[in-house]
Structure 1
Amino acid sequence: MTGGRPAVAGGLNAGRVGDREIMRKAVLRLTDRLPDLADRLTAEILSGDGAHRDEEFTRDVWEMCHTGLGHGFETILEPGRGRADLEWAQRLGRRRAHQGQPLDQLLRSYRLAGKVFWEAVVEVVDRDDPENVATLIRQATRTWDTIDQQSGAAAASYHSTELALARRSEERVHAIVDALLDGQGADGGLLSTATSVLGLPATGRYAVVMLGAESGFGDGVERRPGDTAGMRFIWRLRTDAQVALVALGTADLDDLVAAVRPYARSHAGVSPVVDSLAELGTARWFAELALRTCRGPGNQIARLDRRLPDALVLSQPRLSGRLGHVALGGLTEVDPAFRDVLLTTLGTWLECDGSAARAADRLFCHRNTVLNRLRKIEQLTGRTLTRPGDLVELALALSALRLHGPGPEHGGGPPARGGVGRPVR
């Protein structure tokens, strides 16, 4: 009994060798017909394409067919030399990805190649060795396994190349958006590239949103607004915030704020509308200023045009520091605790539009107490709250104190070269 198995195994091995030899002889006879087979395969591929193809494309397909079939022949005739067919499949996958050809077309070409090759093999064996046609059937599975290997190698190469191209394209988009947000939009070359790569017109309605990252962003997979209500968002991650270039279309800033609000877990700043890509550097600065006006807990969404006094104070820290020093300097003469009470009263009174009664309700004190504290502020500062100019000074000085903190003059001295209060980058 033990002797029977080796005999059967030996018979199977001999049969497989014989099958491969039949295939090798058939392929050897087909070698001279390789250009004709490439013609046939090209015609098959183009016949089902459905699109008009020029001569250059047709020639490219023919070269692909000729080379691919040739490598397939080589793999059968000289198996010891490795899998040139798979190396070619990988190169072809990369090439078609670079050309932007659909993967389905590439895989279809491999199925057709298997069909044309197999029909040619059967034809030549039937003509020259008809007694081996039945034996040849055993090679069908091996042939289609080989086609599957080739198409699999081509598809894997196609996908990896497509991913690399997407990353490269994404990096280019990011670089262009960063340049626009950094104020380089006046460069005509950049502007031309931006319109092409981003698919946005040079002139249009744009805004910038800046989301603070102190508390992260909303729960869920999407943690920042995507395209909605006709608006297109292109996001960039910066050191302490996320910044979006927003193509508004016909939407207004109320629509933009409504789109951002569900995602903001911390404060956000929104620029005014600008009319071109070239102005996005200014819009980004405006959005940053708006964000910096937000203080305290919560998730305020600050529109610059509604925070202009605070934004003015932030954009001129040295001048604001001087204003606070001059306008509120007299308050240094009183006890720090009482000074805090006076400043809180002034701030509350301003928030209540100058109503002592409403301010008293908020401060849980009598109206006369509020009036007495305001008179004390007038005495210490030498300003009169009924005089508009003095009131503006005190309001701005109070904003400077809130936004910049206490200090003599916040780094007194002239503005840095390169801008009037604007960050030098």
Structure 2
Amino acid sequence: MDGPDVKAALRALSARLLPESDQLGVAMADVIRAEIPGYSADGLVTYDELVTSCAVNTRYILGNLAGDLSRSETPAATGTTRAEQGVPYADVLQAFRVGSRFIWEVLVERAEPEDRDLLLLAAADIWAVSDQLATDVTDAYRRATADRARRDSQMRAVLVGSLLDGDADAMSYVGETAGMLDLGRGSEYVVVSAESPSPGSEGVADVERVLRRVHVRSAWRLDHDHQEGVVALRRGFGVDQLVDVLDGIARARVGVSTVVARLDDIPEACRQARVACASVSPGASAVGRFGADPLGVLLAGSPDQARMLVDAVLGPVLALPAEDRDVVFATVRAWLAASGSTSAAARELHVHRNTVRYRIRRLEELTGRDLARPVDAAELYVALECVRILGLG
């Protein structure tokens, strides 16, 4: 058979089924509910809403195939509605795929026996209409999601979280997610992780507005214990300038990742920012950069091992009363910072140098280590860094 005969058979069959669109919509809705958990009885879309949209989509597909668009309603509104209802994009797309498959099966079943071979030849035309329908609905869904994101802070936080956490569905269209968040494309990015000074409070106050004032785009989310965001750097505003801004508004510990050039690298940058935040001394309002303090980052990234090291090296010192322990820690830190100069440490601590010597000897006796030996001094220094990062003294 030649092309025109195939198309004629398809048009005739579609025209014959078009008046049954409402009944077919009901059957399609039942199939979708059975196959997609998100459309189940306790889902976000009611049964009547689903039946209505299925009937509209059926009329659209059959009307296109029949060459009769007079009764075809545009189905793109379904994408807008589902976005407003909060139905996940993956569920929306799957529903349209299931619906298209359902219509194909109906066409095959209802075709006259002598026309079924012709129908197979027309499969490309049928699926082209279905694909266009899915594309239109997808575009409408994403436009609605973008509009909602701009006006809905909770939705915005969800989108930011999908970038930071590497959500599989969101990462498949990461560029669109960045567009919805107005982060731009082709920029360099860093992630910032700030500790909340109290549950649910901002660690970097009003940061998005502050950065917007200097024409820097960013997007943030606020959880119970952290405020985290993606910052799009621009020419003339790099990491150094960002750190200066954050220093001025920090209310707790803040960590900044290395610069990444691809949005796909945001989840790794988020991990870096969290480690950099943890490497800052607890209780401080300061900014730590990943890589600026390699030892601190290493220890903050392995808190369990850091605690084991503290117990092994400084366990007897931790057992002292808090006041005695803090004096010993402060003295040895001052001594190490002064490159082993007892006089310089005494001036820093406002005590006599013999007091410094006494406290150093006490530390050595308690730990069984000799600060004159480089290996012992290194162990004590690393253990003291662990104490600082873990907030033990």
When the two structures are superposed, what TM-score results if normalisation uses the length of structure 2? 0.53
- State the match for 2:162 in structure 1: 179
What is the SS of the residue equivalent to 1:214? coil
What RMSD over aligned residues (CA atoms) do the two structures have, in Å? 3.8
1 CA distance for matches of 2:376 and 2:286? 29
- Aligned counterparts, 1:257-276, within 5 A: 257-276=243-262
Residue type of the alignment partner of 1:390: D
- State the match for 2:295 in structure 1: 309
Query: Alignment partner for residue 206 of structure 1, among 173, 180, 189?
Result: 189
Question: Taking every aligned residue pair, what percent have the same amino acid on both sides?
Answer: 31
- State the match for 1:389 in structure 2: 375
Query: Is residue 189 of structure 1 aligned with residue 172 of structure 2?
Result: yes
1 CA distance for matches of 2:310 and 2:203? 38
- State the match for 1:239 in structure 2: 224
Q: Is the 8 A contact 2:179 2:185 kept in 1?
A: no
Give the C-alpha shift of residue 198 in structure 1: 4.5
Quickly say closer, same or farther: Cα 1:270–1:186, change in 2 above 3 A.
farther
Give the C-alpha shift of residue 182 in structure 1: 0.9
- Aligned counterparts, 1:134-149, within 5 A: none
- State the match for 1:403 in structure 2: 389
- State the match for 2:329 in structure 1: 343
Query: Is residue 370 of structure 1 aligned with residue 359 of structure 2?
Result: no
CA distances 1:54-83 after superposition (whole Å, capped 9, x unpaired): xxxxxxxxxxxxxxxxxxxxxxxxxxxxxx
Quickly say closer, same or farther: Cα 1:340–1:264, change in 2 above 3 A.
closer
- State the match for 1:318 in structure 2: 304
Give the C-alpha shift of residue 295 in structure 1: 3.8
CA distances 1:256-302 after superposition (whole Å, capped 9, x unpaired): 01222333333322222223212211222222222233346552222
Q: Is the 8 A contact 1:217 1:224 kept in 2?
A: no
Quickly say closer, same or farther: Cα 1:224–1:238, change in 2 above 3 A.
farther
What is the SS of the residue equivalent to 2:258? coil
CA distances 1:129-187 after superposition (whole Å, capped 9, x unpaired): xxxxxxxxxxxxxxxxxxxxxxxxxxxxxxxxx99972256566543321121134798
1 CA distance for matches of 2:259 and 2:333? 30
Q: Is the 8 A contact 1:186 1:278 kept in 2?
A: no
What is the SS of the residue equivalent to 1:283? helix
1 CA distance for matches of 2:358 and 2:306? 27
- Aligned counterparts, 1:19-418, within 5 A: 166-167=147-148, 173-184=156-167, 189-194=172-177, 196-198=179-181, 204-214=187-197, 216=201, 224-229=209-214, 231-250=216-235, 251-295=237-281, 297=283, 299-331=285-317, 337-405=323-391
Q: Is the 8 A contact 1:191 1:202 kept in 2?
A: no
Quickly say closer, same or farther: Cα 1:291–1:336, change in 2 above 3 A.
closer
Residue type of the alignment partner of 2:219: I
Quickly say closer, same or farther: Cα 1:326–1:304, change in 2 above 3 A.
same
Task: Give structure 1 stretches of 5+ with no counterpart.
Answer: 1-94, 99-161, 408-425
Q: Is the 8 A contact 2:203 2:227 kept in 1?
A: no
1 CA distance for matches of 2:298 and 2:203? 31
Q: Is the 8 A contact 1:185 1:277 kept in 2?
A: no
Q: Is the 8 A contact 1:207 1:283 kept in 2?
A: yes
Quickly say closer, same or farther: Cα 1:231–1:341, change in 2 above 3 A.
same
Aligned residues: 249
Q: Is the 8 A contact 1:185 1:281 kept in 2?
A: no
What is the SS of the residue equivalent to 1:275? coil
Give the C-alpha shift of residue 324 in structure 1: 0.9
CA distances 1:219-266 after superposition (whole Å, capped 9, x unpaired): 998775332545321122222232110111233221001222333333
Quickly say closer, same or farther: Cα 1:382–1:237, change in 2 above 3 A.
same
When the two structures are superposed, what TM-score results if normalisation uses the length of structure 1? 0.49
What is the SS of the residue equivalent to 2:304? helix
2 CA distance for matches of 1:331 and 1:236? 40
Quickly say closer, same or farther: Cα 1:391–1:236, change in 2 above 3 A.
same
2 CA distance for matches of 1:193 and 1:314? 34
Give the C-alpha shift of residue 345 in structure 1: 0.9
Give the C-alpha shift of residue 364 in structure 1: 1.6
1 CA distance for matches of 2:207 and 2:186? 29
CA distances 1:365-386 after superposition (whole Å, capped 9, x unpaired): 1223213322332233232324
1 CA distance for matches of 2:187 and 2:297? 25
CA distances 1:328-361 after superposition (whole Å, capped 9, x unpaired): 2343686665443222211222344443323212
Quickly say closer, same or farther: Cα 1:376–1:249, change in 2 above 3 A.
same
1 CA distance for matches of 2:203 and 2:376? 43
